[in-house]
Amino acid sequence: MTILVVVNHARDWPFEIEGARVVTARQYLTGAAGPDNHSTRVINLCRTDRYQGRGYYVSLLAEARGHRVLPDVKTPGELHGRHLDRLLGAPFIDHLQRALADCNGTTCGIDAWFGHDPSERNESVAQQLFAALRIPLLHAQFERNDGRWRFRSVRITSPNDIPADQHRLLVETATEYIGRGTRTRRPEPPPAAPAIAILFDADEPEPPSNAAALDKFKAAAEALGMRPSFIGRDDIERLDEFDALFIRDTTAVNHYTYQFARRAAAAGLVVIDDPDSIVKCTNKVYLNELLSRHKVPVPKTLMIHCDNVDQIVPVLGLPCILKQPDSAFSLGVTKVESERALRDRLQQVLDRSELAVAQEWLPTAFDWRVGVFDRRPLYVCKYFMAQGHWQVVKRESGRKLEGSTVALSIGEAPDVVVRTAVRAANLIGDGLYGVDLKQDGQQCYVMEVNDNPNLDAGNEDGVLKDALYREVMGVFLRRIRERKRATP
């Protein structure tokens, strides 16, 4: 087993730990940390609380490479939420009251280094914080209101924040953790009733399902004996009423849909889109790393950082495509035709994100879209480019123009298109994905794997009709039953 301790700079961790190797974030992100190893464990001590910062990408790419990473990429986003009490659960809050019963004052701060309190005053709280959040170094602040302790904040601690006279204890704590391995949490059992929540936003300008499709999902669920309910962004406290959550609103990591997915998954619901799929599919850096590692054909691609900008034109030529890592719906994806335009656009992207993606331009009349659900192809469409444009969607003067959509049966589509799409989607998980591909002769290239793909009445259901909606709801029902049978 290879154990990597990843830091922003080598000076951040000038210590030796038996059985581990210290590497910088840049070394890890660029592959300079050494050969890939499927049993690699990554302890990420970079700042991970900045979205698309260096530490964020260390955890993100660790997951793409199949490494076991601490913390995972989802956890830091929860630290900014308003539901920390609920994230750790009622048993932890009850334990907190007993642990801090003798604490004077109205506030209390607790450090947790790999599950240990360096002051040794609140060891059990530190252990539970680490077990729940899986953050190597953190500081939690609690406050007492009306005689009851609650969370005030949690922040990630950098090795630089720890005084020199405590470094020896820090190294001992890290060494002890590396020696004993990690512990995993078991999901809570699902509720008993076969009910499904369909999350949507009536004000979303580009929803993944139109009103007619939502009605068809509801009808299909009812036909299968389920109890569907439409819920909105203010209904997160209702999730315990359901067995499953089907998200039909545009997803993103910094978005209420992700909070719903996290809460639902933690409660044991069947969730589409699950939080892992949201994180993975909404970041093009992750997708490129994952697809390349598994040798799924993609256009010629460069992962861009501030040290390799001058390689873009020699490797990819012009025009080329520049992608903001978390772009969606053709937004944040730019075709650049000159070096000046490339520099200007790239600066805008790198101001927001540590990494970006540049790809060769592959002009085609249409993109293939293969819907994959439960690891099987669900539908196939051709998405034609908007008239006079190089993308499916063209935005100009406050209006949106779209190319036509043509649905095909699975058997009508080229076998290489369907096989490649299913292979790519299955690297993400067993959820619902829309795989975009371009075809050049017999060669097929994966452009994107999208979570939360469009399922619109009149487009994607052009071949299956109502059977498409019944198939989706049927998978939900089967998974609910399987979870119930697995519950002791």
Residue-wise pLDDT for 234-280, tens only, equals 999 899 899 999 999 999 988 999 999 999 998 899 999 999 999 99
Helix, strand or coil, per DSSP, at residue 86? helix
Looking at the domain assignment, is residue 72 inside a domain?
yes
Last residue of one domain, picked from the residues 122, 149, 180: 180
Taking Cα atoms as reference points, which of 136, 170, 138, 137 lies closest to residue 151?
138
Looking at the domain assignment, is residue 468 inside a domain?
yes
CA–CA distance, 133 with 328 (Å, rounded to integer): 29
Looking at the domain assignment, is residue 293 inside a domain?
no
Looking at the domain assignment, is residue 479 inside a domain?
no
User: Is residue 108 domain-shared with residue 67, that is, in the same domain?
Assistant: no
User: Is residue 174 domain-shared with residue 122, that is, in the same domain?
Assistant: yes
Q: How far apart are the first and last CA of the chain?
A: 34
Please give the pLDDT value at position 273.
96
User: Is residue 452 domain-shared with residue 372, that is, in the same domain?
Assistant: yes
Please give the pLDDT value at position 247.
98
Looking at the domain assignment, is residue 269 inside a domain?
no
Last residue of one domain, picked from the residues 309, 330, 360: 360
Range 325-340 average pLDDT: 81
- Element (H or E) spanning 27, and its range? helix 25-29
- Number of domains into which the chain is organized: 4
Give yes or no for residue 459 having a pLDDT over 80.
yes
Looking at the domain assignment, is residue 108 inside a domain?
yes
Neighbours of 16 (CB within 10 A): 10
User: Is residue 67 domain-shared with residue 86, that is, in the same domain?
Assistant: no
CATH of the domain at 305: 3.30.1490.20
User: Is residue 174 domain-shared with residue 97, that is, in the same domain?
Assistant: yes
| Band of pLDDT at residue 188, cut at 50, 70 and 90 | very low
Give yes or no for residue 121 having a pLDDT over 80.
yes
User: Is residue 411 domain-shared with residue 438, that is, in the same domain?
Assistant: yes
User: Is residue 135 domain-shared with residue 163, that is, in the same domain?
Assistant: yes
Range of the domain at 332: 300-360
CA–CA distance, 433 with 176 (Å, rounded to integer): 41
The CA–CA distances, whole Å, from 102 to 29, 51, 105, 106 equal 46, 38, 10, 11
Please give the pLDDT value at position 225.
92
Taking Cα atoms as reference points, which of 366, 411, 398 lies closest to residue 384?
366
Q: pLDDT higher for 160 or 257?
A: 257
Q: Which two tokens stand for residue 255?
A: 């978005």
User: Is residue 45 domain-shared with residue 85, that is, in the same domain?
Assistant: no
CATH of the domain at 39: 3.40.250
Range 204-223 average pLDDT: 95
Looking at the domain assignment, is residue 87 inside a domain?
yes
Q: Are 459 and 402 in contact (CB under 8 A)?
A: no
CA–CA distance, 259 with 236 (Å, rounded to integer): 8
User: Is residue 127 domain-shared with residue 148, that is, in the same domain?
Assistant: yes
Helix, strand or coil, per DSSP, at residue 460? coil
Q: Are 40 and 65 in contact (CB under 8 A)?
A: yes
User: Is residue 470 domain-shared with residue 373, that is, in the same domain?
Assistant: yes
Q: Are 133 and 115 in contact (CB under 8 A)?
A: no
Give yes or no for residue 414 having a pLDDT over 50.
yes
User: Is residue 71 domain-shared with residue 85, that is, in the same domain?
Assistant: no
For the range 252-261, what are the long-range contacts, defined as Cβ-Cβ under 8 Å and sequence gap of 24 or more?
252/278, 252/282, 252/326, 252/328, 253/51, 253/77, 253/278, 253/279, 253/282, 253/283, 253/326, 254/51, 254/77, 257/199, 258/77, 259/81, 259/83, 260/199, 260/236
User: How does DSSP classify residue 116?
Assistant: B
Please give the pLDDT value at position 63.
87
User: Is residue 356 domain-shared with residue 370, that is, in the same domain?
Assistant: no
Q: Which two tokens stand for residue 446?
A: 């994966």
* Axis-axis angle for helices 123-133, 90-99 (nearest 10): 160
Please give the pLDDT value at position 276.
95
Taking Cα atoms as reference points, which of 386, 364, 387, 353 lies closest to residue 437?
364
Please give the pLDDT value at position 184.
42
Question: Using one digit for the tens of pLDDT, what is the confidence trace for 364-388?
Answer: 999 999 999 999 999 999 999 999 8
Last residue of one domain, picked from the residues 60, 76, 92: 76
Give residue 367's identity as a one-letter amino acid code.
D
Taking Cα atoms as reference points, which of 127, 132, 99 lies closest to residue 115?
127
Please give the pLDDT value at position 72.
85
Q: pLDDT higher for 88 or 302?
A: 302
CA–CA distance, 311 with 298 (Å, rounded to integer): 18
Range 36-63 average pLDDT: 84
CA–CA distance, 262 with 256 (Å, rounded to integer): 10
Please give the pLDDT value at position 86.
60
Question: Using one digit for the tens of pLDDT, what is the confidence trace for 2-15?
Answer: 899 999 988 888 88
Please give the pLDDT value at position 227.
94
Looking at the domain assignment, is residue 277 inside a domain?
no
Question: Using one digit for the tens of pLDDT, what is the confidence trace for 76-105?
Answer: 666 654 556 666 666 778 888 889 988 888
Helix, strand or coil, per DSSP, at residue 304? strand
CA–CA distance, 262 with 144 (Å, rounded to integer): 27
- The residues with which 272 forms a beta bridge, in sequence order, are 246
Question: Using one digit for the tens of pLDDT, what is the confidence trace for 43-56?
Answer: 999 877 777 888 88
